[in-house]
Structure formats: C-alpha cells, structure tokens
A and B are shown apart, each in its own frame.
Chain A
C-alpha cells in the first residue's frame, strides 16, 4: 500500500503554517510613520548640514526578553520625517547630506548628526496605570566644516497615550511613539540654543552678522 505522494508534504505544510501562526501570535510589529508640523519661531542664522545615517533612517527596536513577548518597533521613517522637518526649519539654510564627511558643501557651517541611543516602553498591565508610555533618548552631535566636534548633547523624549476601547496594543504604542517624537522635536527646537557651545557659536555668528550690517555704512567715504 502506498501513501499518496503529497500526503506527508501537506501535513508538513500544515504543521509549518500552524507553527508560523503560533509564533506570529506572540510577536508584535509596530511601524511608526508620522508626519510632523514645522516649528513656529525665528530661525537661527546658520547654514547647517543634516546627516541622517542609514541606521537612523531604518531604525528598528527589537525586544525579545523572558518577561515580554517579542516586539519589533520600526521608528526609522517617523524619526527621519521629524528631524528633517524640525532641523529643516530651524536654520536659515538646511542642507540634507547623503554622505558624511565626504562631499561636504563649502558653505556648511555646522553638521548635525543625530543618533538614537535608547528606546523603552511600558504597557498598562506592567505599570497598572491605564496608559502606554514610551521614552526615547537621542545623542546629538554637531561638527564644524573640518569635522571637529563642536558640541554633543542628549535629547530625552517622553510620550504616553491612554488605553482606548477597541484599539490594539500596536496602535496604542505607535500613538505613544508619535507623541514622544513630537516631544523630541520640541526639545530639539527649544533646547538647541541652550547648549553652551552652540550658544557661543550663535552669539559669534550674530556678532559677525551685525558687524557686516554696520560695516558698509562705516566704510562709505566721508566728504
């Protein structure tokens, strides 16, 4: 007696499919894809290069610990949108750089390179509070035209969202991450000029600009 040739393979396929369903049931994937508003306020008088590395643009946080189910949280696209929008409107001129430190345009006075250091989150059942919470920490680096470090500072961002009826954990977490990214943008925008090294740089630039404005009048020939 012969078993049908594809009997075992169908069984195998079914087992693999069942295993895949069971594995995927324990893993969560979140893709955050937000767009963010341009900040309202005065621009800093600098020409700035913005370098967002591939790692930064495609960042995915992966967590698979004993206490938690598997989580894959992709924030790359959203944080790219945020930093491009906020940094793009913070300065009189912002130039996105595809590569760094190669091919740096001559007029760039400062290159800003953000890096993500940490992402943490908590779920309502862990904290017994009916909110999803997210913390993100960024290392910000500023370099001059020669590639020398001018300033390094840290941005911490926090976002939370209440649990909502008929909303999945993934949706709630994505919403909390969006709130955290807005917070990161707000901290970046309001905190930039408070970094001592950058404060000095901006003061020098303002002084140079005001001297430039007064110079033509002084240089006019007197009769």
Chain B
C-alpha cells in the first residue's frame, strides 16, 4: 500500500511550468492533400543553439497524417537539400527563397517533397538560476543524502511560418515557458523536475496545428 502510494506520488509530483503562447497571423493555413510541412531549427547564433530534440519533439507532436499534417523530419530534409539549408547557407528571409528556387535541382526536389510550409524555430532552453546544496555520505552503517536543491529553467522559442508556394510569411508564434525544479534529499534524493522544454514543445505544436489547420483546430 505504502509502496504504491510512494510510486504514485513520484509520478504525479513534478515541478510546475507555465507556458505563454503568442501568435501573429497574416494568413490562415491551408494544407491540401499531399502537402508537407518542414520544421527546422535556426542555428546561426553563436551563443546558443536551437536544440535538435526540441525540433524533433515539435515535429512528432505535429505529425498527424490522419488530419492532413505530414511533417518531414529535419535531418531527412536537410540531407535531401544539402547544402542549401545548413546554418551558413539557409535563407534568412522569405524573399531569399527566390534565389534558391533559381537552382533547378533544388526547385524540383522541393516540389517532389510537396513542401507547403517551412517553419523556422529559433530559441533555446536555459537554466537561469540555481540554489541549495545536497550532501551525500557513505559509512559502515549505510549511505544517504541530505539537503535541498532547486533550479529555474526558461524556454524562449519563436517560430516563423513561411508559405513556400506563395513565398510569404504566414505568421509567427512564440512560446515562453518557465519552471522550477526541486530536489529534496532525505536519505534518497527525490527529483521533482519541471519539464520546461517539453511543455514549450507541446504548447508550440498545439498552436502550430491550429495555425496550419484553422478549421479543424477550432472544432477540436
């Protein structure tokens, strides 16, 4: 009884996270059958890196062929379009797509993939503060840890949605998430982790789905 209560407590106890999503929409999303969406991370900044696992997470959350959202994995797309979407060569503005489309092989490949939207995600998750300390000791009578630690994490991501066919900016989304994790240790350390990046990912994916499929998004 106590064991199951303890296990359940561990599952349900986790640090709290708040997520704020903002949206700026210039045109409604329209995905026809066979259209695909590419989600790419911006990696041109020198002091941070948009995490590949965040891009994977948004892609996996958004990919739903039954609802008409087909997402091409980032790595697959970047390999197929090499070297035109590498950090050094990737188009920074929608109007730069014109120049890229002048290369016949690139245009052909984009058309083969049926790319309708390119979503660029820029940002990162960082630990902003930490406090407390935990000490562990081992002796003949056994081992144990005592103390308390806490740390804050912040996610700040912005997604730009480019309509590849119309070559225009369809809109922008931003996801800001904050959370505090705790680790009390009374003999055993009990981590209460705030899943900040994961919650930012889920919030952004849900908003992107509503953005790309406005009719279905409002029904659900």
Contacts and interface: CB of A to CB of B under 8 A. Distances in A.
Q: Is the contact region of chain B dominated by helix, strand, or loop, or is it mixed?
A: loop
B3 interface: no
B135 interface: no
Size bin of chain A's contact surface: 20 to 34
B47 A42 contact: no
Given A40-B84, A189-B83, A190-B83, A130 B89 contact: no
Interface in B50-96: 51, 53, 79-84, 86-89
Interface residues of B, number: 23
A197 interface: no
A187 B88 contact: yes
A186 interface: yes
Interface stretch (B103-111, B115-123, B179-187): B103-111
B146 interface: no
Contact of A131 (B49, B82, B84, B86): B49
Contact of B86 (A129, A161, A162, A186): A186
Given A160-B49, A190-B89, A185 B83 contact: yes
Contacts of B79: 37
A40 B80 contact: yes
Given A42-B104, A160-B49, A162-B51, A37 B88 contact: no
A80 interface: no
B106 A41 contact: yes
Interface in A143-199: 158, 160-162, 164, 182-183, 185-187, 189-190
Contacts of B84: 40-41
A160 B88 CA distance: 12
B23 interface: no
Contact of A161 (B49, B80, B83): B49
A161 B3 CA distance: 41
Interface string A21-63: 0000000000000001111111000000000000000000000
B89 to A, nearest CB: 5
Nearest to A86: B83
Given A37-B79, A131-B48, A161-B49, A182 B86 contact: yes
Contacts of B124: 162
B126 interface: yes
A130 B50 CA distance: 12
A53 to B, nearest CB: 24
Interface of B: 43, 47-49, 51, 53, 79-84, 86-89, 103-106, 109, 124, 126
27 contacts: A37-B80, A39-B82, A40-B82, A40-B84, A40-B103, A41-B84, A41-B103, A42-B105, A129-B48, A130-B48, A130-B126, A131-B48, A131-B49, A158-B88, A160-B43, A160-B49, A161-B49, A162-B49, A162-B51, A162-B124, A182-B82, A182-B86, A183-B86, A185-B83, A186-B88, A186-B89, A187-B88
Given A36-B82, A162-B51, 12 more contacts: A39-B83, A40-B82, A40-B105, A41-B84, A41-B103, A42-B104, A129-B47, A130-B48, A131-B49, A162-B49, A182-B83, A186-B82
Interface of A: 36-42, 129-131, 158, 160-162, 164, 182-183, 185-187, 189-190
